Amino acid sequence: MPNKLKASIIGLLSLIMFVSTSASHAAVLLNGDFENGLTNWNTFGEVSAETSPATLINGTQALKMFGNFTDQQSEFSVASQYVAVDGTDFSVGDQIVLSGLMGHLSGDAIIGENTAYLEIAFAFNDFDINAVDFDNAVTSVFFDSSFATDTFFAVNTTSVSIPDLVFGEEIKFIRVAAAFRQPNNLETGAAWFDDLSLNVVPAPSSLAILLLAFISVSLLKRR
The reply to whether 13 falls in a domain is no
Instruction: Quote the pLDDT of residue 203.
Output: 67
The reply to whether 99 falls in a domain is yes
Instruction: Quote the pLDDT of residue 23.
Output: 45
Instruction: Quote the pLDDT of residue 22.
Output: 43
Instruction: Quote the pLDDT of residue 57.
Output: 72
Phi, psi (deg, nearest 5) at residue 135 = -65, -30
If DSSP codes are grouped into helix, strand and coil, which group holds residue 166? strand
The structural domain count of the chain equals 1
Instruction: Quote the pLDDT of residue 20.
Output: 45
* CATH at 151: 2.60.120.260
The reply to whether 43 falls in a domain is yes
Contact 177, 47 (CB under 8 A): no
Contact 102, 151 (CB under 8 A): no
Q: What's at 118, amino acid-wise?
A: L
Residues 126, 70, 188, 49: is their CA dihedral positive or negative? positive
The reply to whether 220 falls in a domain is no
Q: Where are the beta strands (DSSP E) in the chain?
A: 25-28, 42-44, 46-51, 61-66, 75-84, 95-103, 115-123, 132-139, 153-156, 160-161, 165-166, 169-170, 173-182, 190-200
The reply to whether 194 falls in a domain is yes
The reply to whether 213 falls in a domain is no
Instruction: Quote the pLDDT of residue 174.
Output: 98
The reply to whether 137 falls in a domain is yes
Domain that residue 129 falls in: 39-203
In this prediction, the residues of the chain whose per-residue pLDDT falls under 70 are 1-28, 68-74, 203-223
Instruction: Quote the pLDDT of residue 76.
Output: 85
Question: How many whole angstroms separate alpha carbon 178 and alpha carbon 71?
Answer: 23
How much is the pTM? 0.80
The reply to whether 210 falls in a domain is no
Contact 45, 180 (CB under 8 A): yes
